Structures are given as C-alpha cells and as structure tokens.
C-alpha cells in the first residue's frame, strides 16, 4: 500500500499523455495552470512543467509512483485501433484499466476522466443524433470497440461518492487535428497509392469529426464539473463538433486542401463491405505465412458508408459544453499543419 500525500486539485496526471489527444490535453492543462505528470509507454516530447513517467499502465507499481499526490487522472491511453490485436486490447484496455482504477484508489486520486469512444454503441448500421442512452453494441465491430465497451463499464462502475472516487467517461468521435497519427496520414497514404478515387455508397452519409481542441475542452470541463453533487458522476458524455458532415465531403476537403484529387466514382456499399470482410478473413488465414494489412478494413468501410453522428446535448446541459473551434477552422488548421504530406512534398 502506498503512503498517501495530500493531493492538490491542480495536480493531475495524463495516462497516454505522449499520444495525439494526450499531448494536446497536456498543453491545454499547462495553459490553465495545472501541474501535469504524464504516464505513457513512450516519451515523445519534452515540455517545461511536465514530469514524464515511462511505463506500462498494466503495471500497477509504476502507476503508484506516477500518481503520488495527484488528485485528477485523465486516462486516454489505448493501443491504436489499426493494430487489431485482440490480446493486446484485452490486456491494456481491460486489465490495464483495472490496474489504473486500483492505483487511483490506493493513492487517493479523487477524479478519473476516461477517454471512451462514441463507437461503443456502433454496430456498423446507421446512428442519427445518437444519445448516450443507446445500448452498448451487442456485436461490436472489432476488438478495439469490444474492449472500449468493457473499459467504459469498469470506469463508470468505479464511481463511488462514499469512497471518494468520482468518474466520468468522454465519448469523442473521429478526432482530427495537428499531429494526428491516424486519420490524415492514412488518408494521404491511401491517396498516394491511388486508392482514394472511390466513394463508398451514395456519399450522403453524415458523420461526426471532432477537432482535437473541442475534445480537450470537453475533458477539462468534465474534470472541473466532477463533484459529488454533480449530475455527471458515473455517466458517459458525447463530445463532438456538433456539426455532422458528409463523410466524403470531409475526406475531400482534407485531400483537396493537401493538393490531392477528391474521390469521384461511386461503389455500392454492400459490395465493398463484403470484399473488406473477405480480405480481412484472408489476412487472418494467411497471417502465419505473410503479414498484410488491408487498407479497407470492415470497420473503416462501415465508418465510411453509414450515418453515425451523435447528440452532445447532455454535455451542453450538464457541463455547459459548446465546441470552441468550428469544423471549417479545424479543417484549415489541420491541413496547414501537414506541409510534409502535401501532394508533391
């Protein structure tokens, strides 16, 4: 059992603070006068005022050291969805989150803000203006989503006013912005390989893409609203840009902004989805012999060809949430931040 020291309310830890969202969160917390410790499996930068603790969040002992004297923990670490590694997702997102919650209880952390995902309710079919009371996906579309569901349940169940641990889950969707290692780099790589010529379906499906600053804003609002009498304790909140956009318009804006052609030709959704399933099966069967990762995974095709946008009215009502950066400005700032990915660069 670790010895407790009196935690300061402006002393926080960001688990996963070396990642895309985590680093933006750390920078905003510093601006707001917080003292920040980062716990991550890797250290990707250095910043004055930030103490780094490198370690695996499944190792409770390392966590205990990093969380000493901390009153508020943001947990935004996860293996990348593209890894599609069932054992890794289970170990980090489920066992690891249990270790985080145990460590928080042992050192006397008072608040835990989890980065969950709006995908926890997504089964590959249309969701329009989805609210937080939608049931969790019964057939999650991949191992990432399956373990994000279990993770969210664990964190929300751990909320216990008597024991002095308050928890809340933030469910963002399609985070984008400067330094994102997924969306823009994968999109550009696919375009450079000549595979971004096609629109999956009729192109009218609406989706949420959320600028990273808005996601950060939602996390900090949640942390600052989390008090024993607050309605947010033990609940999940969608945080979006509140501007659903056609999936293919968003992709085209980024591509054209970076000097690539927008996709033009339509392919039927069911055909592409069926092909992506076949490819996924083939990659599984052949994995002992050759490692190949299809670009158009069933998850990506489902995300690209269905409506899935979410209401953030609960966050507006309970914590006064309002996006701080519009979609248009978010796209502009994102495009400007990737000069090295421009066509011809």
Ligand X SMILES: NC(=O)C1=CN([C@@H]2O[C@H](COP(=O)(O)OP(=O)(O)OC[C@H]3O[C@@H](n4cnc5c(N)ncnc54)[C@H](OP(=O)(O)O)[C@@H]3O)[C@@H](O)[C@H]2O)C=CC1
Ligand Y SMILES: CC(C)CCC[C@@H](C)[C@H]1CC[C@H]2C3=C(CC[C@]12C)[C@@]1(C)CCC(=O)C[C@@H]1CC3
- Kindly state the smallest distance separating residue 270's Cβ from ligand X, in Å: 25
Positions in the binding site for ligand X (CB under 6 A): 16, 18-22, 40-42, 56-58, 76-80, 92, 96, 115, 117, 148, 172-175, 181-182
The option from ligand Y, ligand X, none interacting with 21 (CB < 5 to 8 A, set by class) reads ligand X
Whole-angstrom distance, CA of residue 254 vs CA of residue 266: 19
- Kindly state the smallest distance separating residue 6's Cβ from ligand X, in Å: 27
Q: Which of 81, 177, 218, 298 binds ligand Y (CB under 6 A)?
A: 81
Contacts of 282 (CB under 8 A, 6+ apart): none
The option from ligand X, ligand Y, none interacting with 42 (CB < 5 to 8 A, set by class) reads ligand X
Q: Which of 65, 98, 110, 295 binds ligand Y (CB under 6 A)?
A: 295
The option from ligand Y, ligand X, none interacting with 140 (CB < 5 to 8 A, set by class) reads none
Q: State the DSSP H helix or E strand holding residue 188, giving kind and residue range, or none if neither.
A: helix 183-192
**What token pair was written down for 134?**
């939608």
Residue 144 is a catalytic residue: yes
Whole-angstrom distance, CA of residue 38 vs CA of residue 22: 9
The option from ligand Y, ligand X, none interacting with 111 (CB < 5 to 8 A, set by class) reads none
**Residue whose tokens read 């963002």:** 172
Residue 303 touches ligand Y, criterion: CB under 6 A:
yes
String of DSSP letters for 272-336:
HHHHHHHHHHHHHHHTTT-----SS-HHHHHHHHS-EEE--HHHHHHH----SS-HHHHHHHHHH
The single-letter DSSP state of residue 94 is I
- Which residue minimizes CB distance to ligand X? 19
Span of 126-134, 183-191, 228-236, 334-342 interacting with ligand Y by CB under 6 A = 183-191
**Residue whose tokens read 């011809």:** 344
The option from ligand X, ligand Y, none interacting with 80 (CB < 5 to 8 A, set by class) reads ligand X
Residue 117 touches ligand Y, criterion: CB under 6 A:
yes
* Alpha carbons within 13 A on the beta-carbon side of 73: 31
Q: Is 288 exposed, middle or buried (0-12, 13-18, 19+ CB in 10 A)?
A: exposed
Residue 262 touches ligand Y, criterion: CB under 6 A:
no
Among the options 34, 136, 143, 144, which is catalytic? 144
| C-beta closer to ligand X: residue 79 or 130 | 79
Strand partners, 308: 127, 207
> Which residues have a catalytic role annotated?
144
Instruction: By CB under 6 A, name the binding residues for ligand Y.
Output: 81, 117, 119, 173-174, 182-183, 186-187, 190, 295-296, 300, 303-304
């Amino acid at each position: 059992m670790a010895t407790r020291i009196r935690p300061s309310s402006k002393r926080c830890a960001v688990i996963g603070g070396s990642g895309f969202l985590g680093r933006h969160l750390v920078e905003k917390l510093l601006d707001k006068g917080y003292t920040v410790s980062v716990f991550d499996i890797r250290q990707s930068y250095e910043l004055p005022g930030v103490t780094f603790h490198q370690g695996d969040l499944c190792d409770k002992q390392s966590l205990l050291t990093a969380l000493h004297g901390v009153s508020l923990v943001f947990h935004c670490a996860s293996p990348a969805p593209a890894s599609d590694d069932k054992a890794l997702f289970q170990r980090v997102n489920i066992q690891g989150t249990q270790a985080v919650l145990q460590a928080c209880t042992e050192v006397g952390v008072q608040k835990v803000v989890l980065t969950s995902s709006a995908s926890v309710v997504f089964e590959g079919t249309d969701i329009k203006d989805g609210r937080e009371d939608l049931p969790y996906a019964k057939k999650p579309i991949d191992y990432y989503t399956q373990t994000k569901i279990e993770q969210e349940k664990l964190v929300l169940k751990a909320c216990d006013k008597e024991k002095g641990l308050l928890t809340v889950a933030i469910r963002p969707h399609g985070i984008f912005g400067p330094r994102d290692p997924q969306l823009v780099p994968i999109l550009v790589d696919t375009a450079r390989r000549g595979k971004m010529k096609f629109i999956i379906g009729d192109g009218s499906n609406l989706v949420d893409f959320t600028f990273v600053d808005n996601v950060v804003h939602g996390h900090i609002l949640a942390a600052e609203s989390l008090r024993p009498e607050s309605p947010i304790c033990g609940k999940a909140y969608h945080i979006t840009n509140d501007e659903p956009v056609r999936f293919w318009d968003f992709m085209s804006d980024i591509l054209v902004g970076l000097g690539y052609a927008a996709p033009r030709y339509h392919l039927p959704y069911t055909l592409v989805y069926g092909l992506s399933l076949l490819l996924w099966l083939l990659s599984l069967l052949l994995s002992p012999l050759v490692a190949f990762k299809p670009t158009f995974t069933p998850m990506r095709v489902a995300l690209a060809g269905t409506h899935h946008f979410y209401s953030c009215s609960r966050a507006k009502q309970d914590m006064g949430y309002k996006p701080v950066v519009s979609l248009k400005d978010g796209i502009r700032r994102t495009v400007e931040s990737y000069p090295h990915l421009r066509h011809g660069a």
